[in-house]
Amino acid sequence: MPTNLPPEYHRADERFRSARTAEEKIAALEDLYGTIPKHKGTDKLRADVRRRLAKLRDESQNQKRAGRHESAFHVVREGAGQAALVGPPNTGKSALMRALTHARPEVADYPFTTWTPTPGMMPIDDIQVQLVDTPPVHRDHVEPAMFDLIRHADLLLAVVDLSDEPLRQFDETNAILMEHRVVPLPLKDRTVNPERSEFLPALVLANKNDDALTDEDAAVFGELLGASWTVIPVSAATGRNFELLKKRVFETLGIIRVYSKPPGKKPEMGSPFVLKQGSTVADFAAKVHHDFLDHLSSARVWGAGVRDGQLAGRDHPLNDGDVVELKTG
């Protein structure tokens, strides 16, 4: 490998290594290719990257052909949960997607840039949550398949442009969503057709809050929506409040991370099992391996609210961050 590669190369390489989906791998590799200086010393490397790209593209095409669902609106779920970025045109959904994941949907300063959804993985500490960028919600363009996609998500991220009548955008989006039987949880009581509706937890992303100058606008917007909504002022351009956004996404998904400790070994930190809040030792055992549940003899738990290594029964409720040692026999 040539030694004089620029830092961008190594960053792209790191992104490639941590990419989960074929699309992310391809995007990272394309970026990586662009960072390699063109000279004799890099001929071999560039040829190698081109070969890897061609192979990945082939594989990805074949997978798509083999898939039962041909629709561009079918997104394979991955990670600890799925959150859909939803909102009017030009609010910055794709820009947020690009800033929070390795996915590379097109961003442009005119409406209706995005026509098909793009998935990507957003890291939150040691887990990954899938974000899905979607085409704009707008009366002039309604794609029923898009509402099916949104309906099956775990979380709605309603994106508005803080600099362009956010309240009007927000009301319009909710109205259109509800006409398609997708109901953000805070609007539950206003549902006309509850039996046929899907209720989704929601966070509101007030985007284009690039610096402190617009904090007051964000605060006013939050007050107008009232306490039943969680408004997070963010900026795809500057990355403002991204940590807060991730924290709220984690909380709102209602999940916990539990780490496995094989008997006599160190806990496997860094690769948690993701469970629903309220899960027990038995739920954890079932997740680790279905045999474990049947043959579980004892469990020890380290974490909040327990003595270190405390023996715990099957029904013992687990907390985020717990370490569990399962013994069978």
Please tell me whether residue 79 binds ligand GTP under the rule CB under 6 A. no
- Which letter does DSSP use for residue 128 in this model? E
CB atoms within 10 A of CB 26: 19
Looking at 23, 30, 78, 210, which residue binds ligand GTP (CB under 6 A)?
Answer: 210
Cβ burial of 306 (10 Å; 0-12, 13-18, 19+) is: middle
Check: CB of residue 234 under 8 Å from CB of residue 206: yes
Please tell me whether residue 233 binds ligand GTP under the rule CB under 6 A. no
**Least distance between ligand GTP and beta carbon 135 (Å):** 6
**Least distance between Mg ion and beta carbon 238 (Å):** 19
Check: CB of residue 81 under 8 Å from CB of residue 68: no
Q: Name the residue nearer to ligand GTP (CB basis): 109 or 315.
A: 109
**Least distance between ligand GTP and beta carbon 118 (Å):** 10
Note the helical H segments in 152-301: 166-179, 215-225, 242-253, 281-288, 290-295
Please tell me whether residue 128 binds ligand GTP under the rule CB under 6 A. no
- CA distance linking residue 122 with residue 55, whole number of Å: 25
**With CB cut-offs between 5 and 8 Å by kind, which of Mg ion, ligand GTP, none does residue 111 bind?**
ligand GTP
**What would the x/- binding string for ligand GTP be over residues 133 to 172, using CB under 6 A?**
---x------------------------------------
Closest residue to ligand GTP, based on beta-carbon distance: 92
- Which letter does DSSP use for residue 135 in this model? P
**Least distance between ligand GTP and beta carbon 69 (Å):** 22
- CA distance linking residue 265 with residue 269, whole number of Å: 12
Q: Which residues bind ligand GTP (CB under 6 A)?
A: 89-95, 107-109, 111-114, 136, 207-208, 210, 235-237
Q: What is the binding site for Mg ion (CB under 5 A)?
A: 93-94, 113-114
